[in-house]
Amino acid sequence: MKPNDPESEAVLAGWLHPRLRNLPAPAAPPTLLPAVLARIAAQRARPWWRRPWFDWPPAARLFSALLALGLLGAADHFAPPFAGGGVKLPRGLAGGAGSLHLLQVLLNAGADSAAALVAHIRAPYLLAALCVVALVYFCTVGLATIFYQAAAPRSVSGFDL
């Protein structure tokens, strides 16, 4: 047999193909399914803060998003490159009490930091391009989520995914 000879390749394929087709399908090891189910159960048993962020309870996600906005606002208020030098406290810290006041402070800080970032972008077309990129990104993530939810199986062998 010569290498790259179409005639000898056809003979070899004619001899090999039926033999390969008659081989039995490989079986999975008997420990595979219990191991996979145990791994899924272990991941579900993890505490909520060790799971992906989108699996957190809605209140925890909201709190963490507000905390991130607050940290961004704190960076705006306390960092000289953003605050223009010096240290100034966030608006509204002097009065009020309770979670609504904290929410107001965090939202003010987030709005202030966003305004500072927008003010530092000199060209309006860069801001518009950034908005378009963000919109395309969020639309892509949303569509991917919708398609995944439509295509993903809901259960395997009676085990809900």
The helix/strand/coil state of 118 is: helix
Fill in the amino acid letter for 108.
N
Per-residue model confidence (pLDDT) at position 102: 66
Enter the tokens of residue 126.
Answer: 């860069």
Domain ranges of the chain: 51-120
Q: pLDDT tens, 66-97? A: 888 887 777 666 654 444 433 344 555 445 55
Residue 122 Cα to chain centre, angstroms: 31
Amino acid, single-letter form, for residue 122: R
149-156 mean pLDDT: 68
Q: What gap in Å lies between CA 129 and CA 38, rounded to an integer?
A: 47
Q: What is the pLDDT of residues 93-118, one digit of tens each?
A: 445 555 556 666 777 777 777 777 77
* Structural contact between residues 12 and 1, judged by C-beta atoms closer than 8 angstroms: yes
With CA atoms as reference, report the closest residue to 77 among 92, 99, 95. Answer: 92
pLDDT reading at 12 higher than 80: yes
- Provide the terminal-to-terminal Cα distance of the chain, rounded to the nearest Å: 53
Please give the structure tokens belonging to residue 100: 């609504």
Dist CA 84 CA 78 (whole Å): 9
Q: Phi-psi bin for 86: left (phi > 0), alpha (psi -120 to 50), beta?
A: left
